[in-house]
Structure 1
Amino acid sequence: MASRYLSPAEIATNRFAVLATYRHLLRATGIAFKGDSQTLLASRTHARQSFTANRSLEAGGTKAAQGVEHAQGVTKILREHVVQGTKVGEEQYKLNIHEHTQRLDNDVAGTLKGTKKSFKEIKDSVF
Structure 2
Amino acid sequence: MHSSYFAIVAANGQSPVGELVLSEGVSAWLFHIKFWEAINSYCQTDFSEYEEETLTTSMISYALGTLQDIKERTDSSSYDISEFRYGWSGDGKELICRVDNETISRELGPLIDMLKTAQDAHLDLYCQL
After TM superposition, the score normalised by the length of structure 1 is 0.29
Q: State the structure with bigger RCO (CA 8 A, min sep 6), 1 or 2.
A: 2
Bigger CA radius of gyration: 1
After TM superposition, the score normalised by the length of structure 2 is 0.29
- Which structure has greater strand proportion? 2
- Which structure has greater helix proportion? 1
